[in-house]
């Protein structure tokens, strides 16, 4: 094997290992509040508890990469080993950055504790119990899709997050705001156009990587989470369903929002 092929294989193996062990995926922007026409760096992160490693932009693993404001624009990722993964020019209002991956796959074999830990950590039992004929214990096969959203606010007018319709499962921050300050905020999880019940949603704080608030979505798909201090936050959940692909038992989607609370 040549050195170049060996290096490519090693990098691919490291990325694959990170993907199967990591638990969250998010978009880290260089700024969450800025001026019109500013260029924002976008880093794709994979990790746990809001601590992770930067990932390259890989076109074959990217289903969508968009910025949505008054209009919708595709984001051209930076190829190779670039960090950031992309740069985007933002306009007046609320710029919502969206990234959706293609499905990844994983098998949890006999004795693999990761499945049980995953179910417990993400509170998946209420969802799994809706499908009693599917396997709930190992061995289990799964595909998973990462669906991430990031807010970059430009200007001082009141704006609101809305359902983009670009992701199969999407978290939406309810209500209008000029800037996010410490307090309680309502989020709604959508399955397409419908609110989705019984999904555990967590708020991770960047400074101490702690879960500061969590709740299951109610019958209206909504949770109220406390964002208690000035900081960056990751809002995260997991939706799991039986997979229509006969080669896999389950397919999960991991919707997230990254945002910043300021004074």
Task: Find out whether 9 and 1 touch, Cβ atoms under 8 Å.
Answer: yes
* Band (22; pLDDT cuts 50, 70, 90): low
Question: Considering its fold, how many domains does the chain have in total?
Answer: 1
Percent helix / strand / coil, the chain, rounded to 5: 15, 50, 40
Residue 15 lies inside a defined structural domain of this protein: no
**Is the pTM value of this prediction over 0.95?**
no
With respect to residue 209, please indicate whether it lies within any of the assigned structural domains.
Answer: yes
Asked whether residue 169 is domain-assigned, the answer is yes
| Residue 245, domain extent | 23-261
**What does pLDDT average to over the chain?**
92
Task: Spell out the alpha helix ranges (H) of the chain.
Answer: 3-21, 114-121, 125-128
Give a yes or no: residue 3 inside a domain. no
Residue 146's contacts (CB-CB under 8 Å, 6 or more residues apart) are: 25, 99, 100, 101, 253, 254, 256
Q: Residue 23: pLDDT band by 50, 70, 90 thresholds?
A: confident
196 found inside a domain: yes
Task: Give the CATH number for residue 250.
Answer: 2.60.40.10
Would residue 1 count as lying in a domain?
A: no
% of the chain at pLDDT higher than 90: 89
Average pLDDT over residues 40-44: 98
Whether residue 9 lies inside any domain: the answer is no
For the stretch 178-230, pLDDT in tens is 999 999 999 999 999 999 999 999 999 999 999 999 999 999 999 999 999 99
Domain assignment of residue 2, yes or no: no
């Amino acid at each position: 094997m040549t050195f170049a092929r060996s290096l490519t294989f090693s990098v691919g193996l490291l990325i694959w290992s990170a993907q199967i062990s990591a638990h969250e995926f998010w978009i880290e922007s260089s700024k969450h509040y800025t001026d019109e026409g500013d260029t924002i760096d976008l880093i794709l992160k994979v990790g746990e508890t809001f601590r992770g490693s930067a990932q390259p932009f890989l076109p074959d693993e990217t289903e969508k990469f968009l910025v949505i404001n008054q209009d919708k624009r595709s984001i051209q990722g930076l190829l190779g080993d670039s960090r950031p993964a992309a740069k985007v020019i933002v306009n007046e209002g609320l710029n919502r950055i969206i990234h959706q991956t293609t499905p990844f796959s994983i098998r949890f074999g006999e004795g693999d504790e990761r499945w049980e830990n995953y179910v417990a950590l993400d509170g998946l039992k209420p969802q799994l119990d809706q499908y009693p004929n599917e396997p709930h214990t190992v061995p289990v096969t799964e595909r998973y899709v990462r669906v991430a959203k990031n807010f970059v606010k430009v200007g001082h007018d009141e704006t609101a997050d809305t359902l983009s319709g670009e992701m199969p499962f999407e978290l939406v921050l309810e209500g209008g705001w000029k800037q996010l300050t410490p307090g309680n905020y309502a989020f709604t999880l959508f399955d397409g156009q419908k609110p989705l019940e019984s999904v555990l949603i967590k708020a991770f704080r960047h400074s101490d990587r702690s879960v500061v608030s969590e709740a299951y979505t109610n019958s209206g798909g909504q949770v109220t989470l406390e964002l208690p201090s000035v900081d960056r936050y990751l809002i995260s959940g997991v939706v799991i369903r039986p997979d229509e692909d006969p080669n896999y038992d389950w397919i999960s989607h991991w919707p997230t929002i990254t945002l910043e609370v300021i004074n």
